[in-house]
Amino acid sequence: MSDADHPRTLLITLTGADRTGVTATLTRRLSGLSVVVLDVEQIVIRGRITLGVLVGPSPDHRGSPSGLLLEATELARDVGAELGLDVEVTLGAAEHLPGRRGRLLVTVLGHPLRPGALSAVTTRIAALGGNVDRIVRTAAYPVTAIELAVSGADQALLRAELAEVSSTVGVDVAVQRAELRGRGVHLVVMDVDSTLIQDEVIELVARRAGCENEVREVTERAMRGELDFAESLHARVALLAGVPESALEEVRREVRLTPGARTLVRTLKRLGFRVAIVSGGFSAVVEPLADELGIDHARANVLEVRDGVLTGRVVGEVVDRAAKAAALLEFAAADGVPLERTIAIGDGANDLDMLAVAGLGVAFNAKPVVRAQADTGLTVPFLDPVLYLLGITREEIEQSDADAGVQTPAPPLR
């Protein structure tokens, strides 16, 4: 027996040239019937409106559901005629069927986003039994970001399959549970070297000691997971013995923020997020950077200094892979943030534990071993698209800047 034989919902879709009061007119007319609104979506593109309103019988309705929905159908057609809009009405079953529970959010980022890439993503979703319930654009600059609400698909399987699509068609794809976007304070924890900043701090210091190439080689092997990080750090720091302490201040002035880093931190802070940085680098550089950006927590290695020069040793425990994850847990507990509302961002093997323990782990221009294990990855050269993974739109970013009197760059003409 079909859904239409015993309808419990009515989807009303109005399309056509946009005009003032479309939603107000339809809902005002529906208010005269014993129905409740179950869902609503509206989008306007280039002066064309598509409005979808899903209604069902009110819990206190005592008459025939079919008769009520047919009455609502005639009403919707009258509204369409009044407003000069096309009307489509679809009778269906109950809205909250098992297949519509556990919605996932799939975010697709392209620079640019081509039709073939979006086709590949949505085709794979359909092949896995998923239904795309809603598509919205969250940003057009500096990347195009599209968010799809998907029901009826297994999260782990969908994430694995779309990771394959991502590498094939050249877009970034994130899959997460919709409830992770829930209200409450969130915590974002970032790596520093090659994530928040474009540089590797230890290499900048090594340049002043004349051993940059040797240190870079060891750093790259450690980030690929070929060497134990703590041992590699001690070996590299030993090469820095004799470097003047003043070199650390020179390096701090030399480091370059990743494009979009200021926008990311500024927007997160204004929206009430807590922000932390954890680094296998050095506190003499990381802590002033955190102060400059208004970051809430910072943790990094401490270099031993005697008589104004580096001794080639680290003071205290090394901030390695395990220590980064422990720092995330500590910061979350201090801020009262549940783990499911934590986000970790990093690029190297030293970040893997932190990415794994967070509610959402983001590999940022990462080594292959990291991208393979993270929840999602970004391959664009900007850090602020992380905001789109969190459901923050470009319009919200620009409005936040406008409210604070910050001038944001104009997007390119389309």
Q: Could you give the number of structural domains in the chain?
A: 3
Please identify, among 34, 64, 92, the residue that sits at the C-terminal boundary of a domain: 92
Judged against a pLDDT cut of 80, whether residue 95 lies above it is answered with no
Q: Is the peptide bond before 112 cis (omega within 30 degrees of 0)?
A: yes
Domain CATH for 49: 3.30.70.260
Residues 176 and 55 in one domain: no
Judged against a pLDDT cut of 80, whether residue 412 lies above it is answered with no
Residues 163 and 278 in one domain: no
CA gap 132, 150 in Å, rounded: 5
Residues 156 and 284 in one domain: no
**pLDDT tier for residue 19 given thresholds of 50, 70 and 90:** very high
Q: Dump pLDDT digits (tens) for 205-231.
A: 999 889 999 998 887 887 777 888 888
- Residue 7 pLDDT: 67
Strands 172-177 and 274-282: unpaired
CA gap 268, 260 in Å, rounded: 12
Please confirm, yes or no, whether 78 is among the known catalytic residues. Answer: no
In a domain, 400, yes or no: no
DSSP characters for 78-113?
Answer: HHHHHHT-EEEEEEES-S--GGGSS-EEEEEEETT-
In a domain, 361, yes or no: yes
Domain CATH for 313: 3.40.50.1000
Which residues span the domain enclosing 317?
Answer: 188-383
Residues 174 and 211 in one domain: no
In Å, how far from its chain's centre is CA 150? 16
Structure tokens of 348? 């190297």
- Residue 222 pLDDT: 77
Asked if 81 and 36 touch (Cβ cutoff 8 Å), the reply is: no
CA gap 233, 280 in Å, rounded: 8
Which amino acid type is present at position 213? N
Burial class (CB in 10 A: 0-12, 13-18, 19+), 235: middle
In a domain, 135, yes or no: yes
Please confirm, yes or no, whether 193 is among the known catalytic residues. Answer: yes
Please identify, among 181, 211, 229, the residue that sits at the C-terminal boundary of a domain: 181
Give the whole-number percent of the chain exceeding pLDDT 90. Answer: 67
Judged against a pLDDT cut of 50, whether residue 97 lies above it is answered with no
In a domain, 378, yes or no: yes
Please tell me which residue in 193, 199, 320, 384 is annotated as part of the active site: 193
CA gap 211, 194 in Å, rounded: 20
Helix 394-403 crosses helix 261-270 at what angle (to 10 degrees)?
Answer: 80
Residues 112 and 212 in one domain: no
Residues 110 and 228 in one domain: no
CA gap 195, 189 in Å, rounded: 11
Determine which helix (DSSP H) or strand (DSSP E) holds 41, and give its type and residue range.
strand 35-45
Please identify, among 64, 92, 120, the residue that sits at the C-terminal boundary of a domain: 92
Q: What is the mean pLDDT of residues 366-380?
A: 89
Q: Dump pLDDT digits (tens) for 256-283.
A: 999 999 999 999 999 999 999 999 999 9
In a domain, 408, yes or no: no
**pLDDT tier for residue 35 given thresholds of 50, 70 and 90:** very high
In a domain, 270, yes or no: yes
- Residue 311 pLDDT: 96
Residues 37 and 111 in one domain: no
Residues 240 and 343 in one domain: yes
- Residue 135 pLDDT: 87
Give whole-number Cα distances, 412 to 111, 137, 178, 351, in Å: 13, 17, 31, 35
Residues 61 and 157 in one domain: no
Burial class (CB in 10 A: 0-12, 13-18, 19+), 389: buried
Residues 263 and 164 in one domain: no
In a domain, 354, yes or no: yes
In a domain, 15, yes or no: yes
Residues 30 and 106 in one domain: no
pTM for this predicted structure: 0.79
Q: Is the dihedral of CA 340, 345, 347, 353 positive or negative?
A: negative
Left (φ > 0), alpha (ψ -120 to 50) or beta: where does 28 sit?
Answer: alpha
Please tell me which residue in 172, 191, 199, 353 is annotated as part of the active site: 191
DSSP characters for 254-316?
Answer: H--BPTTHHHHHHHHHHTT-EEEEEEEEEHHHHHHHHHHHT-SEEEEEEEEEETTEEEEEEES
E strands in 316-392: 342-346, 360-364, 376-378
Residues 70 and 26 in one domain: yes
Give whole-number Cα distances, 318 to 46, 98, 113, 291, 313, in Å: 55, 48, 41, 22, 11
CA angle 30, 31, 34 (to 5 degrees): 90
Bridge partner residues of 309 (DSSP): 244, 306
